[in-house]
């Protein structure tokens, strides 16, 4: 099979590796221009002598011409952050397929996995679909369900479950498409939902919320962007959380919301509405992640 990979970062590289490993011909790679560290997909493709394109916009006529010149059967979109026009997607002989880490049409958008956890869902998954000019709105070829365990974070959910399954599924669906055995079903719009990217406003902890909500927020933002609270007038990001529900009035009597009620080798324990959250690691504003026990935060400190 002759394919083009559109994507970036570790997921894009893993998709490239998967196709190459089974002998497919990856004729071209399209990835966004880098703004920081080297893109693993670009580095891996260049090491194999694969042509790499980094167009600022895939709507440019030069990008379309580059894909035509690659003469591929299937386009594979693996973690794409650029807008990809329909004209571009239609160039490969059998069109283009795209990976999205949610059970479409639920949780469209770039922070789909984080929102799944923040919303308290017990399952999510991924979809492989035919991209359209709408964001994550194209007809779906394949879905796979993944359980969200109570202790899962964004990191464990993605890297431990959705990432490896998603890469394998892209190869599977590419085969289906070329064989003409990949019917795509329109998404059921009454079930659809879109959320924006999780940034500072979305990831701030309100200790007056129930601890279930605060706990889900922390793990849905772990490892990035991190859920945060205020300490001494600066942001403090919290990671590696565990939750404990208060079962009696006397457990919380005299406690303030956001109060650190324990600090020791295991980390910090913070009082929230309806219970407590244990924090093992923190990142002070302007600093790096450290063990919460090394933060210098003492019992009686009020966060938020």
Full DSSP string of 241-261: EEEEE--SHHHHTTPPTTBEE
Q: In this structure, what DSSP letter does residue 33 have?
A: P
* Rounded-to-integer distance, Cα 178 and Cα 282, Å: 48
* Rounded-to-integer distance, Cα 6 and Cα 19, Å: 13
pLDDT of residue 194: 98
Query: What is the set of domains in the chain, with CATH numbers?
Result: 2-191 (3.40.50.170), 200-294 (3.10.25.10)
Give the H/E segment covering residue 115.
Answer: helix 112-118
- Tokens in use for 236? 């403090």
C-alpha of 136 from chain center: 14
* Rounded-to-integer distance, Cα 176 and Cα 111, Å: 28
* Rounded-to-integer distance, Cα 74 and Cα 97, Å: 8
pLDDT of residue 110: 96
* Rounded-to-integer distance, Cα 62 and Cα 139, Å: 27
pTM: 0.95
E strand map for 119-266: 123-129, 140-147, 227-231, 234-245, 260-264
pLDDT of residue 36: 87
Pair type for strands 74-78 and 2-7: parallel
Per-residue pLDDT reduced to its tens digit, 40-67: 999 999 999 999 999 999 999 999 999 9
Would you write out the chain's pLDDT as a tens digit for each of its 304 residues? 999 999 999 999 999 999 999 999 999 999 999 988 999 999 999 999 999 999 999 999 999 999 999 999 999 999 999 999 999 999 999 999 999 999 999 999 999 999 999 999 999 999 999 999 999 999 999 999 999 999 999 999 999 999 999 999 999 999 999 999 999 999 999 999 999 999 999 999 999 999 999 999 999 999 999 999 999 999 999 999 999 999 999 999 999 999 999 999 999 999 999 999 999 999 999 999 999 999 999 999 999 9
Which residues make beta-bridge pairs with 127?
A: 100, 143
Distant-in-sequence, close-in-space partners of 133: CB < 8 Å, separation ≥ 6: 85, 86
Answer positive or negative: Cα dihedral of 251, 253, 257, 259.
negative
* Rounded-to-integer distance, Cα 20 and Cα 12, Å: 12
pLDDT of residue 111: 98
Give the H/E segment covering residue 290.
Answer: strand 290-291
């Amino acid at each position: 099979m002759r394919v083009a990979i559109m994507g970036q970062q570790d997921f894009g590289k893993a998709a490239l590796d998967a196709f190459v490993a089974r002998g497919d011909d990856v004729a071209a790679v399209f990835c966004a221009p880098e703004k920081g560290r080297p893109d693993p997909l670009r580095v891996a493709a260049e090491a194999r002598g694969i042509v790499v394109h980094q167009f600022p916009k895939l709507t440019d006529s030069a990008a379309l011409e580059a894909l035509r010149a690659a003469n591929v059967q299937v386009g594979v979109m693996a973690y794409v952050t650029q807008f990809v026009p329909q004209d571009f997607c239609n160039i490969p002989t059998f069109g283009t397929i795209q990976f999205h880490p949610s059970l479409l049409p639920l949780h469209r958008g770039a922070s789909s996995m984080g929102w799944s956890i923040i919303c308290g869902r017990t399952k999510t998954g991924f979809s492989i679909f035919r991209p359209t000019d709408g964001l994550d709105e194209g007809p779906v070829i394949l879905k796979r369900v993944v359980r969200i365990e109570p202790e899962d974070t964004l990191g464990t959910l993605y890297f431990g479950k959705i990432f490896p399954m998603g890469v394998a599924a892209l190869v599977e669906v590419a085969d289906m498409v070329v064989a003409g055995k990949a019917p795509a079903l329109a998404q059921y719009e009454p079930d659809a939902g879109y959320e924006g990217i999780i940034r500072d406003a979305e990831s701030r902890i309100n200790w007056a919320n129930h601890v279930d909500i605060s706990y889900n927020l922390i793990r849905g933002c772990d490892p990035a962007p991190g859920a945060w609270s205020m300490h001494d007038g600066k942001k403090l990001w919290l990671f590696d959380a565990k939750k404990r529900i208060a079962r009696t009035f006397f457990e919380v009597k005299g406690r303030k919301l956001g109060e650190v009620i324990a600090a020791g080798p295991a980390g910090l324990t913070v009082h929230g509405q309806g219970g407590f959250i244990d924090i093992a690691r923190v990142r002070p504003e302007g600093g790096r992640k450290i063990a919460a026990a090394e933060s210098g935060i003492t019992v009686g400190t009020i966060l938020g």
